[in-house]
């Protein structure tokens, strides 16, 4: 998770992470020497042990569900088992390996395909499931 600096959207007031900790598990985080799909050593499973002192990357990051009202409640990562963010033209979908087919199910598959086919601004959609990588088309 190294190129999030272009993702500075404002959080939607009515949405909160709650007990979701997908972004403390799914992405690789260089600053924490954390590989992908491994729990951050500071994660309690429901929160951050070093919340007040967490790295800037953790402070800045918001998944797309936190900032984009077009993603409805079905896209709450705690329900969808996916976290989604943008890196320039790339829409990155990290899927919880405990739910590897989540992205293939309704309503998600059709929406991901729609984003890929729209291709607005060269947009493309990449899905990561454990060590597997898929380009949505």
43 vs 129 by CB, closer to ligand SF4: 43
Which is nearer to ligand SF4, 33 or 119 (by Cβ)? 33
Q: Which residues pair with 29 in a beta bridge?
A: 34
Q: In what order do the strands lie in the sheet with 90-95?
A: 82-87, 90-95, 124-129, 132-135
State the nearest-atom distance from the C-beta of 16 to ligand SF4, in Å. 8
Residues that bind ligand SF4 (CB under 6 A): 17, 20-24, 29, 32, 40, 42-43, 48, 50, 54, 58, 62-63, 65-66, 77, 83
Sign of CA dihedral 49, 62, 115, 75: positive
The reply to whether omega before 107 is within 30° of 0 (cis) is yes
CB of 58: closest distance to ligand SF4 in angstroms?
Answer: 3
């Amino acid at each position: 998770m190294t190129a999030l600096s272009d993702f500075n959207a404002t959080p939607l007031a009515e949405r909160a992470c709650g007990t979701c900790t997908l972004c403390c598990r799914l992405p690789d985080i260089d600053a924490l020497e954390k590989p992908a799909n491994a729990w951050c050593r500071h994660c309690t499973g429901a929160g951050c042990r070093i919340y007040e002192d967490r790295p800037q990357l953790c402070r800045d990051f918001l998944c797309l569900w936190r900032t984009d009202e077009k993603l409805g409640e079905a896209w709450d990562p705690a329900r969808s088992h996916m976290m989604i963010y943008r890196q320039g033209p790339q829409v990155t979908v990290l899927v919880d390996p405990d739910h590897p087919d989540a992205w293939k199910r309704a309503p998600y598959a059709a929406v991901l395909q729609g984003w890929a086919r729209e291709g607005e601004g060269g947009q493309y959609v990449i899905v990561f499931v454990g060590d597997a990588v898929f380009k949505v088309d």
